Structure 1
Amino acid sequence: MQLRVAIIGQPHGLKGEVRLDVRTDSPEQRLGVGAVLETEPPEAGPLTIKKSRVYKDSLFVAFEEVNDRTGAEGLRGVALVIETDEEEERDDEGWYRHELVGLEALDPDGYTLGTVTDLETMPAQDLLVVEEPDGKITRVPFVQDIVTEVDLEDGCVIIDAPPGLFSDEDIIIADGED
């Protein structure tokens, strides 16, 4: 199974260095000098990390296969992936995208809200992307107060959504009359 460990961001300088949007808790282990990483899309790689440094809380790397800014610009948005074993130890508080995609989204009473189609990593918090039965896409903040349970064995997530987050919920609109 493949696991995204970083997304290649903007180039830095003229010699092909890029900023990485890190998606792993172990960047020093998975993104160290000499690491050979597969890519999404596959035709962009594999890429070998030649140089790595941290500057202002960002990880910058240079790849052996890229020697200039033009080549680095062509990699923007490419995902760096590794093969992982299902048995690999993981943080009980975290979830991988591949574990969440396809889960049924239910409200606390067991009614279907839709299906999880993606996990978007954002600066403040992650978002679960849920496709509702009518095809509407809803982004749900992936926080404990809203996503109260993730049950991989039963194939579902329980979402205690605030009113109006999902399209079929009743929305009360004040008419302005007393």
Structure 2
Amino acid sequence: MSDVVVARIGKPHGLKGEVTVRLHTDAPAERFVVGESFTTEPAAVGPLTLRTHRVHNGIHLLSFEQALDRTAAEALRGTQLLAAADADDEDAWYADDLVGLRVEAPDGERIGTVIALHDRPAQDLLELRLEGGRAGFVPFVEQIVPIVDLNGGRIVVDAPPGLLDLAGD
């Protein structure tokens, strides 16, 4: 399996090189182990070796051996941390897996194409390019997206009435 984005580095926190991160993993305690090395995007920034990981007021804070002060931490802003995909989690979907998949209704009618996965605090959203060219958003939850068929190149969206009509023209 290829590497996937597990976090995006945000702003510095304090003076000792800590940074906030936007998580792209459901298992931060397993992903962010002190001493772990991460490849990065852009590649020239890394690899980065985790020095500390803590949670403060619900925000994950990381520091790296390569960034020991606030100035060095600021230079990391926007960097993506990459790690190997978890092959054991069959319900884990990454943006790279989903973008480009055909979107179908339960009856097989083509709805559109997945163009992005947006992670949100409450639930992730799939952004779709609908058949008419409009954009649409659907919550990426099992009740609305009951089937993700990577091998078949499709997902099934069982949208409640009116959900895709909210996309606007």
Give the TM-score category using the shorter length. Answer: 0.7 to 0.9
| TM alignment of 1:9-158, pairs within 5 A | 9-84=10-85, 88-90=87-89, 92-158=90-156
CA shift, 1:108, in A, is 2.0
Residues 104 and 78 of structure 1: CA distance in aligned 2, closer, same or farther (over 3 Å):
same
What is the alpha-carbon distance in structure 1 between the residues aligned to residue 133 and residue 82 of structure 2? 30
Higher Cα Rg, which structure: 1
Give the drift of 1:105: 0.4
Query: Shift of the alpha carbon at 1:115?
Result: 1.1
CA RMSD of aligned residues (A): 2.5
Q: What displacement does 1:38 show?
A: 1.0
Q: Percent identity?
A: 45
Shift of 1:13: 0.3
Tell me the TM-score normalised to structure 1 length: 0.80
What secondary structure sits across from 1:29 in the alignment? helix
TM-score under structure 2 length normalisation: 0.84
Per-residue deviation, residues 145-174 of structure 1 (Å, max 9, x unmatched): 3212212232211112234443699xxxxx
Which structure 2 residue ranges, 5 or more long, are not aligned?
none
Query: Aligned partners of 1:60 and 1:75: how far apart in 2?
Result: 13
Aligned residues: 167
1:46 is displaced (CA, Å) by 1.6
Q: Counterpart of 1:77 in 2: which secondary structure?
A: coil
Preserved CA contact (<8 Å) 1:34 1:50: yes
1:78 and 1:149 map into 2 onto residues whose CA distance is 32
Task: Decide whether aligned partners of structure 1 residues 167 and 25 sit closer, same or farther in structure 2, where only a CA change above 3 A counts.
Answer: closer
Distance in 2 separating the partners of 1:64 and 1:109: 53
Distance 2:29 2:142 in 1: 29
SS in 2 for 1:72: helix
Task: Quote how far apart the aligned CAs of 1:134 are.
Answer: 4.1
Q: Distance in 1 between matches of 2:32 and 2:166?
A: 44
